[in-house]
């Protein structure tokens, strides 16, 4: 699923499933959401190269995350951290890590520009 859709529509669809009553559905949605966020960060960085165009890639990643809502991603991760299923907890940690990495890259780009 993560490979067949663009990140933003997929994030919006998965957000609904992350609050599902069925724990297995919730966990699977959390894992997919985590993979989508991670893929969004990694693909943009690979597409534009590492050193020279890091600021362009960071801007694109942050734009997509901001369009979906960084606070929504953080809320989803916070809700899943205490889930009963380990897959959901792992996905929450992965989402939090991806958001953190995107923020750090943005800060590094701003520092380089100054």
The candidate with the shortest Cα–Cα distance to 31, out of 18, 16, 44, is 18
Q: Do residues 19 and 79 make contact, with C-beta atoms less than 8 angstroms apart?
A: yes
pTM score, two decimals? Answer: 0.56
Average pLDDT, the chain: 73
pLDDT tops 50 at residue 48: no
Domain residue extents for the chain: 7-113
Q: Is the pLDDT of residue 1 over 80?
A: no
| 61 has a pLDDT exceeding 60 | no
**84-96: per-residue pLDDT in tens?**
888 888 888 888 8
pLDDT digits over 7-28, tens only? 777 777 877 887 788 888 888 8
Instruction: Inform me whether the pLDDT recorded for 76 exceeds 50.
Output: yes
* One-character DSSP codes across 17-70: HTT-SSHHHHHHHHHHHHHHHHHHHHHHHHHH-SSTTHHHHHHHHHHHHHHH-H
């Amino acid at each position: 699923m993560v490979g067949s859709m663009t990140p933003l529509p997929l994030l919006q669809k998965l957000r609904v499933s992350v609050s599902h009553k069925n724990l297995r559905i919730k966990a699977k949605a959390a894992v997919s959401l985590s993979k989508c966020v991670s893929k969004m960060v990694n693909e943009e960085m690979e597409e534009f190269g590492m050193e020279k165009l890091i600021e362009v890639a960071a801007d694109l990643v942050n734009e997509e995350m901001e369009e979906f809502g960084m606070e929504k991603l953080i809320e989803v991760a916070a809700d899943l951290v205490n889930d009963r299923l380990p897959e959901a907890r792992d996905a929450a940690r992965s989402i939090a890590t991806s958001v953190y990495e995107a923020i750090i890259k943005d800060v590094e780009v701003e520092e380089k520009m100054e």
